Structure 1
Amino acid sequence: MVRKRVVVTGRVQGVFYRDTCRRVAQEYGVSGWVRNLEDGSVMAVFEGEPDAVETLVRWARQGPPAAVVEGVEVSEEEPEGLGGGFEVRSSWS
């Protein structure tokens, strides 16, 4: 298991980024969460098998069709054993 946190900048709010991210994560069996941040970026945590998490990181660099991704910061974290699926969290709370 691996865990990665991504912060995505660009036009990523109001373009179904979070919901699409949730659906893609569920498709690949990745656990975690995604939320909008106050500065207009999106943060997500992906946890799961290395190949599946890398697929989500690659997806984050593109996002859904209406998104314009300008940057993606990726950091590795210690896995926490998330197994409860993938959720869209409330904005910047």
Structure 2
Amino acid sequence: MQKCLECTVFGRVQLVMFRDFVMRKARTRGITGTVRNSPDGTVFLCAEGNEEKLRELLALVYRGPLLARVEKVDAVWKDCLGERQSFDILY
């Protein structure tokens, strides 16, 4: 089943290649969406795809890349709109 996952990731998640990490993990799982840094120091991602693959991605988001320190993840599940064709970093 196609779903949408929106996450705000807190902790040391900027300047540690977090967005690139999420993009690579999403693309290898066939997930579409976007990831961006927020002005408050968090990272926000919106991902669409197979629910099982999104759950895999969410588990990886909690871990993060080597230099990151994830303190909290606020995750919201929504129905998928199927609007995205790729997974990209927004600047």
Whether TM-score is above 0.5 comes out as yes
* Structure 1 unaligned blocks of 5 or more: none
1:79 corresponds to: 80
1:23 corresponds to: 24
C-alpha root-mean-square deviation of aligned residues, in Å? 0.9
Structure 1 segments of 4 or more deviating over 6 A? none
User: 2: distance between equivalents of 1:34 and 1:77?
Assistant: 17
Contact 1:22–1:88 at 8 Å: present in 2 too?
A: yes
User: 1: distance between equivalents of 2:6 and 2:61?
Assistant: 11
TM-score (norm 2): 0.95
Structure (1/2) with the larger strand percentage = 2
Task: Write out per-residue CA displacement over residues 54-85 of structure 1, whole angstroms, 9 at most, x where no aligned residue.
Answer: 11111111111110000000011221103411
TM-score (norm 1): 0.93
Q: 1:37 to 1:83 in 2, by over 3 A?
A: closer
Task: Give percent identity, aligned residues only.
Answer: 32
Which structure 2 residues correspond to residues 1-93 of structure 1 after superposition, within 5 A? 1-90=2-91
